[in-house]
Structure formats: structure tokens, C-alpha cells
Amino acid sequence: MSGDINFDPNDLASSHIEAVVKASSIDTGIKLRDKDLRGNRFLGVEQYPEMRFQSSSITKSDNAFILTGQLTIKDVSKTISFPFTFENQTFKGSFKLNRRDYHVGGKSWVTSDEVNVSLEVPVE
């Protein structure tokens, strides 16, 4: 993962977050599953080597911040928003997405459409 974080809790209007994840970096600990997930049926890493997030706004909520921006996976970009905290130089947040909204995999009896994403990003 790589990115650019410019975050000032006292100047949210000037704050922004960008992140890039190499799709081939997926590692479930099971080589055969990873190969399938990297293939065209799921992430298609040959054609879509990166997943990206570009913030459009950061606002303050009760006990957290709300991050809004464009999430791009494969050929689909959608606006998402999710809460995060910033404590001890670490960002923590989570959100859910529908993998099929991003053309990741098809209908399945065993694979849920809903994916839980949890982030913990230390800042140096």
C-alpha cells in the first residue's frame, strides 16, 4: 500500500487522503484461493493492477471523523463515506461494500456479496 496523507484535525478543509493498493498483494494464506482472487473472475490484476481511494472531504463527527471520497476497484469508481478515528498517530476505520458493485466475482452460494473492510494505518 502507498499513499499520501495530509491530515490536520484542526484544518479539515485542507486535509486529504490518497491511497493505492496493488491488487496482486492480496494474501489470504491459501495460494489456490489467492490465484483465483487475482484472476479475471475477481480482481483481474493483469488488467486492473491497482485499487485506489481519493478523498473529497473529511468532516468531524461526534467521536470520529467522516472520510468521503472515490473508491476505484477495477473499472468502477464510487463515492463512499466511512467513520475513522485518529489516535496515537494511527488511523482506524471500517466500512462495508458490495463486491459486485465493483464487478468483483459473480453470483455465488458460498461467497458473500458484502465485504467488510477494516483499516489500521500508522503514520510516521
C-alpha grid cell for residue 25? 498483494
What's the total number of domains in the chain? 1
Domain that holds residue 109: 2-122
* Strand ranges (E), 7-64: 16-22, 50-60
pLDDT at residue 119, rounded to an integer: 92
In DSSP terms, which residues pair with 21 in a beta bridge?
Answer: 51
* Banded pLDDT at 87 (limits 50, 70, 90): very high
Whichever domain contains 103, its CATH number is 2.40.128.110
What is the tens place of the pLDDT at every residue in 55-70? Answer: 999 999 989 999 999 9
